[in-house]
Structure formats: structure tokens, C-alpha cells
Chain A
Amino acid sequence: MGHCHDNNINIKVKDGEKKLVLVGNPNVGKSVFFNKLTGLYVDVSNFPGTTVDISYGRYKDYVVMDTPGVYGVSSFNEEETVARDVILFGDVILNVVDAVHLDRDLFLTKQLIDMGKPMLIALNLMDDVRRNGLKIDVVKLEELLGVPVIPTTAIKGEGMDAVLNSIGKAKVGNRNPRLIEKIQSYLDKVDNEAEALLVLEDDETVAERHEIEISGQRDEIYRERRREVDEIVGYTVVETSNGASLRTKIGRWMLNPITGIPMLAITLYIMYKIIGIFVAGTIVGITEETIMEGMYRPFIEGLVGGFVNPETFLGSVLIGEFGILTMAPIYILGLLLPLIVGFYVLMAVLEDSGYLPRIAALVDRSLTAMGLNGKAIIPMILGFGCVTMATMTTRILGTKREKIIATVLLGLAIPCSAQLGVIAGLISQLGAFYTMVYVISIFIVFVVVGTILNKLMPGESSQLLIDLPPIRIPQLKNVILKTVQKTWMFLKEATPLFILGALLISFMQYTNILVAIQNAVAPITVGLLELPKETATAFIMGIIRRDFGAAGLTSISMTPVQVLVSLVVMTLFVPCIAAIMVMFKERGYKDALLIWLGSFVVAFLTGGIIAFIL
């Protein structure tokens, strides 16, 4: 015992401080407790080797750490791995439980109790309990679990002070005696009882850390724990009324295709109105045109121009057409930021209302044909905002196979908002027929490529298995919080990519590589696609920034068929340079290169076919 392992946690704990860890299932209101405990002074620490950030702050002499929402402690995914290590690191556990879903949430609770750390429970969402005609015997629950249980309605602030006052009363709960006995044989090989339990439950990572063979008892232990939970729920929860409430009915309508598809169509239309018209038009008009182009650009050009000659290489890198002080911030802050915020707000509303998992269930059938499950609808929707952001979101998908398929489809067939605006402008001049051909072509590529990939790629995709939380009205505070967190994450991850991209392009432009590539591509555009030579320039610009390329087309005189072909080809290219880089970052060098080159082939092939037919 006692050999210290690097738990990957770089959070400084002072002498005499205790580590309080917040644990709970997804969407139980954990963040409200975290904010109440820590106030404004919160730090975020990235968990090395993962994409998960841990928030931490201080309350009295406790270091308070948040964890991602999980259904249990193990290593089934990145969130769980992180939650597990933070829990192992902690001294006291505050378990936030959704009182309406005790039968689901108590599984985690019982597991935490079996880990043998002092803990207390915030029995949250008590207002929902009353509303749903349930009754919970809190005293009995406390007795059965052996730890303090405090009823709360966190979003209304009810019971919060009681929780704060009870942290000192946290204690080790009623552990399963059989498990206590079983972990004895591991105790001399690991650091503590919590680790011993995880090894007993076949947690491969923890077992590996201590060089122990796993015993294959997980299923049996989980089943027994399940039985215990059912027993506890049987003793403590009483249903006072039955029958479907309005919210249950709405949930059903969302799922049933007859009502669900129109509801989804209306929802997407509203999203389009908000993002496509209001945010992309009105808001971006102010942020990009007025603020960034109108005020920021002259300011920074004047400022830097005073020291550096804009004609030099350094000058063009800093404040040139693709400068890291001009293009990068104007693009990120002026154009992307409002769109990203808009999308994250809407996604948070969909998620917190309980609609998003139902959309995933509704579209699951259509996506399975392409080797994806319903969850993949989330990156697909986000792709219409920003493919870079959407590609990052493919992390939520279950297998590598699905991640690759989703990345390919996003890069190929989902036009981002920056580009959609320009495409819509160009295509509306051509009339309904060409618009239809455009939409149908892209859709066919989406389905055909997805289906082929599903057939060709080895392995199997994961199946949909999701919890459908009850329909709720989203809490504004929570929506804002989520949006801020996710937007911040995006800016942190994407900004270096955009800057690197800008650098790369400046370099290619300065060294005339850009022109050389344009000349190299020209034969394909002229020969295969029957387009004017200058479109090659627009295509290359399109890779740098999708909307640049589409905008570049407006200045070339072309027949309607030529406009259509170039728009299709440009849509199918992997989006902007940031999206290409995020592809390389997420998928690795080999896969990303294949996907990227493949997109050129598909784009030129599809364009060639359309040019040939029409």
C-alpha cells in the first residue's frame, strides 16, 4: 500500500484542506450546487489526455471539485474516467440525486457508498417530485443508505443552506457487507478501499495501474446493486397519482413520427429563423461589419502599421489579408462567436427541455443506415453553424467508426452558416429548379457516402441507448451557464487553429504557393467541370474560408449550370482551414488525410457528373 500514483489531477490542495467532490447523474442540477459552494472564484483545469475540463473552487477549508455527469463509476467513456479519478482523489463526496428518478440515480449512490468514502446526498428536484405525484420517505431513505439525505430544489435555492451545513456531517454509509469482504484480498495491492472496489468491479484502468488481473465479477455485482436499489426505492417511494400528465404527453408526441416529424420540422425552422436570419444577418452585421471591420481593422492596421511595413512578410503575417491580427480575430470574434453562442443557446434549450434525446430517438432509424445512431444528430445540427465546432462534438459518439463517418459527412455535405448565406444568395438568382438540384445533389452525396462507408468500414457502430428525461422548461441560468462554458471551450480550442491557419495561408500567399496550387487545379475545373479558369481561385479561397470562396464566385460570369456545379463542388470540399485542422487533431494524421483527399475526389466527381448530365 501507499505507492503513489499520478492521478492526472493538477489541482493544488493546501495543507489542512479537504477535497469535496460533487458527483451525480447527468442533468441533476449539480452545477447549481457547485456555483453555490464556490461562488465566483472558479478555476478550470483540463484533464490531461482528455477533452474534459474539471471546474474547481473553494468553500471554507474545502477544495470543491465538479465532475462530469455519469451513471456510474468506471471507465466506459471519457467522462467516467475523469469522474472516477476525481472521486478517487476526493475526501468527501456530495452526491446530487434526481429525486424523481431514484431508481436510476441510486445505482451511482450505492456504488459511491460501497467505495467507502464519507458522503452526503442532496435529494434534488423535490418540486418535480410533488408535481409528478410522488412521495419520498426521506427519513427512511437516510436510514437505509446510512448517510445524510437533504431534500432540495436547487434552482429555487430551497435546502441549499441545509446542504452546506451538513457537509461536516458526511459519513460512510451502509456498505454492502459482501463487497467489504470481497475487496479484502485487493487491499494490500491498492491505495485504498475505493480503488479495491473498482478493481473488484473489473475497472481495467485501475486494475492495470496496480498490475492486478480483473476477475470478471462486474455483472454479478451490478445486478446485486440493482436489486438493492429496487428494494430501497420500494421502501421509500410512493406514487400518489398515476396517468399521463401533459408533459408525458408532449414527450410522446415528440417521439411519435406522425406528430414528431412536424414538430421537428417546426423546431428546425425556428432555429433557422433565429440563427440563419437573426444571428447570421442582424447580429453578425453589427459584430463583423460595424465593430470588427469598421472599427477594429482600421485601429489595428494603424497601430501595427506604425511599427511594421505592411508590404513586408512580417507585415502581411500580422495585418495582411490573412493576418493573425486582422483575419483571425475578425473571423473568430466578428463572425463565429455570435453564431457559436446562438447555436449553443439553442442546443442547451433543446437539451435541458428533454427534447434533444427525443430527437435522437426519432431520427435514429434514418441514421443507422449510415452507420450512425440517433446521437449523431447533435454534431449534424451543429455543423450548419460551424463545421469546426461540430467536428469537435463528434467526441460524444460511441465508436471510432462512427466518429470517422460523422467527420466525413460533416466535412462533405454539411454547409456551415458562413457559407450557407453566400450559397443562398447565389442560388436564389437561378430559380427553383437549380436550387432543388443543388439540395438533392448534396443530400444524395450525404446518403450515398454514409451508406458506402457503413458497408466498407470494419467493425460495428454502437446502438442507441439513451435515457429520456422528463420534458421540462429549461432554466435560463443553466442555459446561460452551459453556453458560456461551451463557447469558452470552443474559443480556447479553435483560436490556435485559426491563428495557425492564418499563418499558413499568409506564408503560402507570400511564397506564391497559393497561385501555384490554383494553376495546378485549373485543368480539372476547366476540363472536368467545364468551368471558367478563375473558379480555381475561388475554390482555393474556399478552402481557406468557405464563405470567401463562395463570395469569390459572384465576380465570375458563368452560366446557371456552371454556378450550380461550382456551388456543389465548393460545398463538398472540406470546409475552412480550421475545420481541416480540427479534423487532423481529432482523427489523427492518417485518417484525416484520407478524409480530406477523399472529399476532393467526391467533390470533383459529383461536380463532373452534374456538369455532364445538365
Chain B
Amino acid sequence: MTLDKAKKGSKVKIININNKDIKSQAIRIGLFEGAVFMCSEKLPGGPVILQNKLQEIAIGRGLAVSIDVEGV
């Protein structure tokens, strides 16, 4: 499934980031293939918030659509 489909409170593993422009930047703030996050918040129609330990990342909905994840 894609990240925008992940349920709030669920744990997801990043499988693929299908956005060339953002991939390298994403890796550097900790968003990369294989990383496991908790989907800690989903703003209605808006960004998905991922959390790993103390780190949180906000990902725009349009970008979340292009990120493949699987439930853990």
C-alpha cells in the first residue's frame, strides 16, 4: 500500500520512495527504504506524520501517495 493509506497509530516499513527529486533528501532526514516508523498523526487530507523514537517527520499527502509501505 502507499503511505497515505496507513492507519493512524500503525507501524509501517518504507518499501520504496517513488519520487526522484525528494529521495536523496528524504534519506538524509531518516526516511529511506527499510526504515520503520509509527504513523503518529494524519491530518485530514493533509500531511502524514511519521515518528521514530523522538524524531517526527511531516510528509505532504501528495508525497505520501508516492511512498510504498507495508504494515509491520
Contacts and interface: CB of A to CB of B under 8 A. Distances in A.
Interface of A: 71-72, 74, 76, 100-101, 103-104, 107-108, 132, 134, 218-219, 222-223, 226-227, 239, 251-252, 255-257, 357-358, 360-362, 364-365, 368, 373-374, 462-468, 470
Nearest to B46: A365
Given A76-B24, A362-B43, A465 B54 contact: no
Nearest to A398: B21
B2 interface: no
Given A103-B52, A252-B41, A463 B22 contact: yes
A362 B46 CA distance: 8
Contacts of B21: 462
Given A239-B53, A257-B44, A465 B30 contact: no
A468 B53 contact: no
B60 A464 contact: yes
Nearest to A239: B53
Nearest to A251: B56
B58 to A, nearest CB: 4
Contacts of A108: 28
Q: Which applies to chain A's interface (DSSP): helix, strand, loop or mixed?
A: helix
Nearest to A103: B30
Nearest to B40: A252
B36 to A, nearest CB: 10
Given A251-B56, A464-B60, 7 more contacts: A103-B53, A107-B30, A218-B24, A256-B41, A462-B22, A464-B47, A465-B59
B27 A223 contact: yes
Contact of B56 (A219, A227, A365, A468): A468
B64 to A, nearest CB: 8
A235 to B, nearest CB: 15
Contact of A465 (B26, B35, B41): B26
18 contacts: A71-B28, A71-B29, A76-B24, A104-B30, A104-B55, A219-B24, A227-B34, A239-B53, A256-B43, A361-B46, A364-B47, A364-B60, A365-B45, A374-B47, A462-B22, A464-B58, A464-B63, A465-B31
A466 B30 CA distance: 11
A467 B41 contact: no
B23 interface: yes
B28 A107 contact: yes
A563 to B, nearest CB: 38
Nearest to B20: A219
Contacts of B29: 71, 104, 465, 467
A222 B43 contact: no
Residue of B35, B55, B56 with highest tally of chain A CB at under 10 A: B56
Contact of A222 (B24, B34, B54, B60): B24
Contact of A223 (B33, B54, B61, B63): B33
Interface string B9-39: 0000000000101111111111111110000
A361 B45 CA distance: 11
Given A361-B46, A361-B47, A464-B63, A107 B27 contact: yes
Contacts of A358: 58
Contacts of B71: none
A364 B46 contact: yes
A103 B35 CA distance: 11
A403 to B, nearest CB: 16
B32 to A, nearest CB: 5
A368 B57 contact: no
B57 to A, nearest CB: 6
B53 to A, nearest CB: 7
* 10 nearest CB pairs, A to B: A365-B46, A464-B60, A463-B63, A463-B60, A361-B58, A468-B56, A71-B28, A72-B28, A222-B27, A463-B62
Nearest to A467: B29
Given A361-B46, A364-B43, A467-B29, A101 B62 contact: no
A467 B55 CA distance: 8
B23 A465 contact: no
B16 to A, nearest CB: 11
B49 interface: yes
A467 B61 contact: no
B43 A255 contact: yes
Determine which residue in B21, B22, B26, B55 has the highest number of CB atoms from chain A within 10 A of its CB, and name it: B55
B60 to A, nearest CB: 3
Contacts of B56: 251, 467-468
Contacts of B23: 219
A365 B44 contact: yes
